[in-house]
Amino acid sequence: MLVSRVNMRGTVIKSTGSWYTVLVDKDTKVECGIKGKFRIKGIKTTNPIAVGDKVIFEMEKDGRGVINSIENRKNYIIRKSINLSKQSHIIAANVDQALLVVTLAYPRTSFGFIDRFLLTAEAYHIPTKIIFNKIDLFEKDTELKGIDKSAKNIKMEELDQIIKSYEKVGYKCYKVSATKKTDIEVIQGITKDKTTLIAGHSGVGKSTLVNSMDSNLNLKVGEISDVHFKGKHTTTFAAMHPLAYGGFIIDTPGIKELGLVDMEKYEISNYFPEMQALKSKCKFNNCLHINEPKCAIIEALNNGEIGASRYNSYMGIMKEEDLEDDY
Ligand SMILES: Nc1nc2c(ncn2[C@@H]2O[C@H](COP(=O)(O)OP(=O)(O)OP(=O)(O)O)[C@@H](O)[C@H]2O)c(=O)[nH]1
Ligand SMILES: [Mg+2]
Ligand SMILES: [Zn+2]
């Protein structure tokens, strides 16, 4: 007997490595395996198919599916491991925007990390907004109340200065408290009818934030270690969740450190929008903005137009041995 096979289409909402959960429509999810090899030219990743991928699959008799092709991606974002393996992992594909969740304490997110994430998102053309979470830990004009000693002196005014500097460069910032539900409606507003990736260190409150945005979702939330004031990697796989008010949210495991995607030294400033805007004014068109004469970026740094912290992050990245020198 001839079994006629029907191709079905859906979106990968969860992947454990060997199995993929594919959302076909609001009420239909199919667990799928894969057939054959999926490789995108030029990139080697540990996961051939990522959350957000649109796939074509066939149903098997046992009710499971077999993915046989993947549609062209609108975009994707890769996380490169910093350990020796230097493995690349596609965090998600086909997203409209990323929200980088940041806490200045409990746990601390460094500017270096923020800027590396922004650089990566720029390189992959993913618009990013920054969410400063846990503002309930601040009191206006007083010290942070958290027990994380490293953050003892951070004040709300300081956070506002930080926000000002990122907004000047073009990154919209928001202050929220996921647990107290402060200004969550603003986050609902910017995520409605969009596919949004949520990223950040472990413990910053990504899953808590998602739960507060849509009370139907009940994602697992973890505690912060009392010793290191860091998260415990509670979310272990990226997963996409439909939002009751429209749109999708992709909650991801905490990123510890972010390796750079393959880039050459001279490219880095292209992904710092404030540098990109000025670099054509440098005397030398191969200027790396380190110590070259008549460098428009160093001039802008000296007159305060470019933030010292951002330039610091830039220099930190430029010193990395992985970057290609030749151009
Ligand atoms: N005070 C305070 N605590 C928060 C807030 N948001 C989250 N938390 C707490 O932070 C801890 C970690 O929250 P999670 O939502 O699990 O953090 P996560 O970013 O998803 O962490 P991973 O899944 O490990 O990457 C929990 O104890 C939350 O209750 C907030 O706005 N204020
Ligand atoms: Mg989580
Ligand atoms: Zn320059």
CATH code where residue 285 lies: 1.10.40.50
The per-residue DSSP string of 256-269 comes to S--BPPS-BGGGGG
Mean pLDDT for the stretch of residues 8-35: 92
* pLDDT at residue 327 is higher than 70: no
Note whether 163 and 311 are same-domain residues: no
Mean pLDDT for the stretch of residues 194-201: 97
Note whether 128 and 63 are same-domain residues: no
Q: CA angle 38-255-54, nearest 5°?
A: 30
CA 58/CA 22 separation, integer angstroms: 12
User: Minimum-distance ligand to the CA of 278?
Assistant: 3
Query: pTM for the full model?
Result: 0.92
Give the length of the chain: 327
* Strand-pair partners of 8: 57
Average pLDDT across the chain, whole number: 89
Residues 6+ apart with CB under 8 A from 327: 264, 265, 266, 286
252 lines ligand 1 (CB under 6 A): no
Q: Is residue 25 part of a domain?
A: yes
Note whether 150 and 27 are same-domain residues: no
Q: Is residue 257 part of a domain?
A: no
Note whether 273 and 244 are same-domain residues: no
203 lines ligand 1 (CB under 6 A): yes
- Distance, CA 199 to ligand 2 centroid (Å)? 9
Q: Is residue 323 part of a domain?
A: no
Q: Is residue 2 part of a domain?
A: no
Q: Is residue 297 part of a domain?
A: yes
Q: Tokens 């199995």 map to which residue? A: 19
Q: Among 251, 280, 307, where does a domain finish?
A: 251
User: Minimum-distance ligand to the CA of 203?
Assistant: 1
Note whether 212 and 119 are same-domain residues: yes
146 lines ligand 1 (CB under 6 A): no
Cβ atoms of residues 238 and 200 within 8 Å: no
Cβ atoms of residues 141 and 184 within 8 Å: no
Q: For residue 263, what pLDDT band results from cuts at 50, 70 and 90?
A: confident
CA 68/CA 200 separation, integer angstroms: 32
Computed from CA positions of residues 119, 121, 124, 128, in that sequence, does the dihedral angle turn out positive or negative?
negative
Question: Which ligand 1 atom lies nearest to the CA of residue 233?
Answer: 24
220 lines ligand 1 (CB under 6 A): no
Note whether 106 and 240 are same-domain residues: yes
Note whether 189 and 99 are same-domain residues: yes
The CATH number linked to 18 is 2.40.50.140
CA 142/CA 111 separation, integer angstroms: 22
Residue nearest to atom 3 of ligand 1 (CA): 134
Q: For residue 14, what pLDDT band results from cuts at 50, 70 and 90?
A: very high
The CATH number linked to 247 is 3.40.50.300
Note whether 287 and 241 are same-domain residues: no
* pLDDT at residue 311 is higher than 90: yes
Which long-range contacts does 151-154 make (Cβ < 8 Å, 24+ apart)?
A: 151/104, 151/105, 151/106, 151/108, 154/104, 154/105
Q: Among 198, 221, 251, where does a domain finish?
A: 251
Q: Is residue 324 part of a domain?
A: no
Note whether 58 and 182 are same-domain residues: no
Note whether 56 and 197 are same-domain residues: no
Q: Among 225, 251, 277, where does a domain finish?
A: 251
- Distance, CA 223 to ligand 1 centroid (Å)? 7
107 lines ligand 1 (CB under 6 A): no
Q: Is residue 1 part of a domain?
A: no
Note whether 275 and 131 are same-domain residues: no
* Strand-pair partners of 137: none
What range does the domain containing 58 cover?
7-70
- Distance, CA 280 to ligand 3 centroid (Å)? 8
Q: Is residue 326 part of a domain?
A: no
Note whether 201 and 234 are same-domain residues: yes
Q: Does residue 99 or residue 258 have the better pLDDT?
A: 99
The total number of structural domains in the chain stands at 3
